[in-house]
Structure 1
Amino acid sequence: MSKRPRDAAVDAARKSAPTYTALGAKGLLKKYYLNGDAGGGGVYLWESEAAARAWYTPEWEKRIATAFGATPTVTYYDNHVVVDNEAGKVRIEGES
């Protein structure tokens, strides 16, 4: 598998972006589209693991596998600390 050209990656992201914009109402805070030699993917920041798990259902997995010809892999990570240089803050879970 080879890396998609930039324009193809951007075009694909633009087409799917409305889906992820709409997920803001269901707890999706950010999605980072990834494009690399190993293929494409994304990093998703959800307000909670429960919100993420509500989206990543067996039905979702089947849709993605059908659309892309590969079973997706979802890995959950705890995110206790965020360095947000745009906002000039270090955010620590549970602290204001």
Structure 2
Amino acid sequence: MITTFTTFTLPQTITLEQASEIFQSTAPKYRSVPGLVRKVYVLSEDGRTAGGVYLWNSRADAEALYTDAWRAFVKDKYGTDPVVTYFNSPVVVDNVAGQIITAPHAP
């Protein structure tokens, strides 16, 4: 499994309420993305940085989303270019499902 952090510095500060409205408007786009397990929208406490934390089945699944069109969508929506950072996620604790998930390649 792969976790990606996407971040972008906003051209101006937004409130948590504004962020919630914006994020709710884009959330449906992610409901059926192949290989996406979970997406968590984030906003820094100062309201200057936004982004998302994504859990993917594979890096290939993640890379399939982060296309030039996706980057253009983010720039158009938020007025700034996103930064995407990849992390391996060999173990995930899911307290809602009551599971510890181990990626297939991890022992």
**Structure richer in strand, relative to its length:** 2
Question: Which residue of the partner structure matches residue 33 of structure 1?
Answer: 41
TM-superposed deviation, 1:78: 0.5
Question: Which residue of the partner structure matches residue 57 of structure 1?
Answer: 67
TM-score scaled by length of structure 2: 0.75
Equivalent pairs counted in the alignment come to 92
Higher RCO, Cα 8 Å, sep 6+ = 2
In structure 2, list runs of 5 or more residues that go unmatched.
1-11
Counterpart CA distance in 1 for 2:76 and 2:20 is 21
Aligned-residue RMSD, C-alpha: 1.7
Rate the CA distance shift 1:66–1:6 in 2: closer, same or farther, 3 A: closer
Counterpart CA distance in 1 for 2:39 and 2:63 is 15
Aligned pairs (5 A) from 1:1-96: 1-2=12-13, 4-23=14-33, 26-36=34-44, 37=46, 38-94=48-104
Question: Counterpart amino acid of 2:36?
Answer: L
**Structure richer in helix, relative to its length:** 1
Between the aligned residues of both structures, percent identity stands at 37
Counterpart CA distance in 2 for 1:6 and 1:62 is 24
In structure 1, list runs of 5 or more residues that go unmatched.
none
Name the SS of the counterpart of 1:75 in structure 2. strand
Counterpart CA distance in 2 for 1:87 and 1:59 is 34
